[in-house]
Amino acid sequence: KTLKIKVVQDYLTSSLGYELIARKYGIKSNSLVVSWVQRYKAIGPKGLDVLSPKKTFDGSFKMNVLKWMKTNKASYPKTALHFNISNVGTIWQWQHIW
């Protein structure tokens, strides 16, 4: 979590863009930096916590997430942020299963 906070604070206090921040910290994808910054802005430092990998979501919740995403024509990151799902790939997997 310390790296995430450092990256987010650096982005927020500098004039560097996502790509340069990602390079500076050796992060392979600038979309990860984008996600961290968005989660931090929306939720605060708790938004950078990794949710328990053992957390399970029931079928009803999954369907509500997918329905919301379709209704709002939202991207995976926006949907993950809206439902506080830390891994965007989780939603992608649900969509491809159903």
- Sorted by sequence, the CB contacts under 8 Å of residue 27 that are 6+ apart come out as 7, 21, 33
Best CA proximity match to 88, nearest among 41, 80, 96: 80
Taking only the tens place, the pLDDT of each residue in 1-59 is 689 999 999 999 999 999 999 999 999 988 889 989 988 998 888 888 876 566 678 89
Give the residue carrying structure tokens 């942020």: 81
d(CA 60, CA 19): 37
Looking at the predicted structure, is the pLDDT value of residue 74 above 90? Answer: yes
Looking at the predicted structure, is the pLDDT value of residue 61 above 90? Answer: yes
Q: Give the HSE-up count for residue 55: Cα atoms under 13 Å, Cβ half-sphere.
A: 12
Please report the pLDDT score of residue 27 as a whole number: 94
